[in-house]
Amino acid sequence: MSTLELLVLDGDGIGPEVNAQALRVLRVAAEAGGIGLEVEHAAFGGASLDAHGVPVTDATLGLAKAADAVLLGAVGGPKWDDVAPELRAERGLLRLRKELACFANLRPARFSAAIEPASPLKADRTAGTDLLIVRELVSGIYFGEPRGIDRAAADPEGFNTMRYSRSEIERVARVAFRSAQQRGGRLTSVDKANVLEVTRFWREVVSELGAAEFPDVQLDHQYVDSFAMKLVADPKGIDVVVTGNLFGDILSDLAAALTGSLGMLPSASLGEGGGIYEPVHGSAPDIAGKGLANPLGAILSSAMLLEHTAGRPELGRAVTAAVDAALGDGLRTGDIAWGQPGTQRVGTQAMGDAVLHHLRRQLDA
Ligand code: NAD
Ligand code: IPM
Ligand code: MN
């Protein structure tokens, strides 16, 4: 790819702060790699609600569809918590994912010795952890109909519907099987097949697909409750995980915390067209606007963009190595500080500066 058309959606809270650092990194990597970068910005989430009365406009969706990739910060916050459900900032994000048909959400969690003290687990449990959660992103209980709150009923109720079609399961499972082929050759499908028919069907379809197309991948199935326990008890035994939208949301925050901090985890949402690249964390209203946010999840998301959309994995690896080098220098944002000797607490901008410094050295070498 010689020119990359990028739509930047900063969103809310710490979104603009972390995205600014990811974009700096992307500009340097693109220039070194001979990729022209054309960047547009648009309001998104709460910011769009303030400016346009909706969390995402049709015009912004049009820009996103036309772009090669979307670099997204985070959406939502207390300021917009009381709006009608269909106007919530989070709904804008769901609509973007759906309309771009980004059905496979890749959320890698990798152990880093540098931030091991930030993990709530003992080092011997987490050392060597390197797993990938492939979360289905545009269906399941997040999107199933009927949904709503029936306030007029004699006993008012809220309800949602969890459903998956064969084709929806197959397409995300294919991405997960292929990822397993490129990694350790093992795939765990996570469901609740002992209770929910929809996930019983999920299990059937994943098994059939594995037998028919991926006999080289070692497939196993686990119930989400005991898998959550395994994730904490023995994370290094896990290679690739495929699961539905809701379970994937929960398990990826858990995986993030195990490896140190939610602020470290990147993601790529891939589908039929351009990808969406966003850190796994939210808008962190408690630290927004203070320059304290960890930009590494966002920066590592730009590394995933270089690999998956730009088709330049070597540039993505250079960014990842630069992140490791900045941590190796002892730099830590507050979420990963933990007062270890030889470390220094820095803010968002200084962490971005350090990554850029190391990236330039990597790319010159
Ligand atoms: P959150 O991820 O925003 O924050 C959880 C905790 O982690 C907070 O203590 C926060 O300070 C900390 N944290 C998160 N990212 C960090 C970073 N980069 N550096 C340092 N610390 C970080 O989750 P929440 O508080 O439950 O949600 C806040 C808002 O964000 C809600 O409106 C929620 O819906 C939204 N949200 C958005 C996304 C997204 O846009 N992809 C994801 C999750 C939550
Ligand atoms: C995430 C977030 C979103 C989700 C919210 C903000 C809609 O938690 O990306 O993990 O639930 O998918
Ligand atoms: Mn989440």
Residue 114 pLDDT level (bands cut at 50, 70, 90)? confident
Q: Among 56, 90, 69, 96, which Cα is nearest to 7's?
A: 69
Residue 137 located in a structural domain: yes
Q: Among 270, 253, 357, 262, which Cα is nearest to 305's?
A: 270
Domain total in the chain:
2
> Do 1 and 100 fall within a single domain?
yes
Angle at 108 between CA 229 and CA 15, to 5 degrees: 110
The range of the structural domain enclosing residue 11 comes to: 1-110+261-365
Residue 242 pLDDT level (bands cut at 50, 70, 90)? very high
Active-site annotation holder among 10, 12, 142, 164:
142
> Do 266 and 226 fall within a single domain?
no
Residue 354 located in a structural domain: yes
CATH number at residue 25: 3.40.718.10
* Cβ atoms of residues 170 and 142 within 8 Å: no
Which residue type does 84 have? A
SS3 287: coil
Residue 160 located in a structural domain: yes
* Cβ atoms of residues 98 and 143 within 8 Å: yes
CA dihedral 93, 143, 87, 255 (to 10 degrees): -40
For residue 7, list its beta bridge partners.
40, 70
More confident residue, 239 or 341: 239
Rounded to an integer, what is the distance from CA 109 to the centroid of its chain?
Answer: 10
> Do 251 and 282 fall within a single domain?
no
Mean pLDDT value across residues 222-239: 96
Closest residue by CA, ligand 2 atom 11: 249
The rounded Å distance from CA 280 to ligand 1 centre is: 8
| Sequence-distant contacts of 284-289: CB under 8 A, at least 24 apart | 284/13, 284/14, 284/74, 285/13, 285/77, 285/78, 287/14, 287/334, 288/12, 288/13, 288/14, 288/17, 288/77, 289/17
Q: Is 253 in the pocket of ligand 2 (CB under 6 A)?
A: no
Mean pLDDT value across residues 168-192: 98
> Do 11 and 137 fall within a single domain?
no
Residue 337 pLDDT level (bands cut at 50, 70, 90)? confident
Residue 60 located in a structural domain: yes
Which residue type does 32 have? A
116: pLDDT strictly greater than 90: no
109: pLDDT strictly greater than 90: yes
Average pLDDT of the chain, as a whole number: 96
1: pLDDT strictly greater than 80: no
290: pLDDT strictly greater than 90: yes
- Give the separation between CA 7 and CA 72, rounded to whole angstroms: 8
Active-site annotation holder among 12, 239, 249, 335:
249
Residue 115 located in a structural domain: no
- Concerning whether 58 is annotated as a catalytic residue, the answer is no
SS3 148: strand
Residue 319 pLDDT level (bands cut at 50, 70, 90)? very high
> Do 247 and 311 fall within a single domain?
no
Closest residue by CA, ligand 2 atom 3: 90
> Do 216 and 335 fall within a single domain?
no
Closest residue by CA, ligand 2 atom 9: 280
Angle at 299 between CA 321 and CA 111, to 5 degrees: 55
Q: Is 275 in the pocket of ligand 1 (CB under 6 A)?
A: no
- Give the separation between CA 143 and CA 126, rounded to whole angstroms: 34
113: pLDDT strictly greater than 90: no
Q: Is 92 in the pocket of ligand 1 (CB under 6 A)?
A: no
> Do 154 and 239 fall within a single domain?
yes
- Give the separation between CA 112 and CA 244, rounded to whole angstroms: 27
The rounded Å distance from CA 34 to ligand 1 centre is: 34
Ranges of H-type helices in the chain: 15-32, 46-52, 58-66, 89-99, 123-126, 166-182, 197-213, 224-233, 245-258, 296-308, 313-328, 348-364
> Do 48 and 143 fall within a single domain?
no
Mean pLDDT value across residues 56-77: 98
Mean pLDDT value across residues 284-310: 98
* Cβ atoms of residues 251 and 133 within 8 Å: yes
Active-site annotation holder among 10, 12, 164, 192:
192
Among 258, 276, 311, residue at a domain's last position: 258
Residue 93 located in a structural domain: yes
Q: pLDDT > 90: what percent of the chain?
A: 91
pLDDT for position 260: 87
- Give the separation between CA 172 and CA 164, rounded to whole angstroms: 11
CB atoms within 10 A of CB 160: 14
Is the pTM higher than 0.85? The answer reads yes
- Concerning whether 142 is annotated as a catalytic residue, the answer is yes
> Do 217 and 280 fall within a single domain?
no
pLDDT for position 363: 92
> Do 139 and 177 fall within a single domain?
yes
255: pLDDT strictly greater than 80: yes
Q: Is 288 in the pocket of ligand 1 (CB under 6 A)?
A: no
> Do 201 and 242 fall within a single domain?
yes
- Concerning whether 192 is annotated as a catalytic residue, the answer is yes
Q: Residue 217: which residues within 8 A CB-CB, separation 6 or more?
A: 177, 180, 181, 185, 186, 187, 210
Residue 163 pLDDT level (bands cut at 50, 70, 90)? very high
Active-site annotation holder among 253, 324, 329, 353:
253
Among 199, 230, 258, residue at a domain's last position: 258
Q: Which atom of ligand 1 lies nearest, measured to the CA of 281?
A: 2
Residue 144 located in a structural domain: yes
Among 240, 258, 276, residue at a domain's last position: 258
192: pLDDT strictly greater than 80: yes
> Do 135 and 231 fall within a single domain?
yes
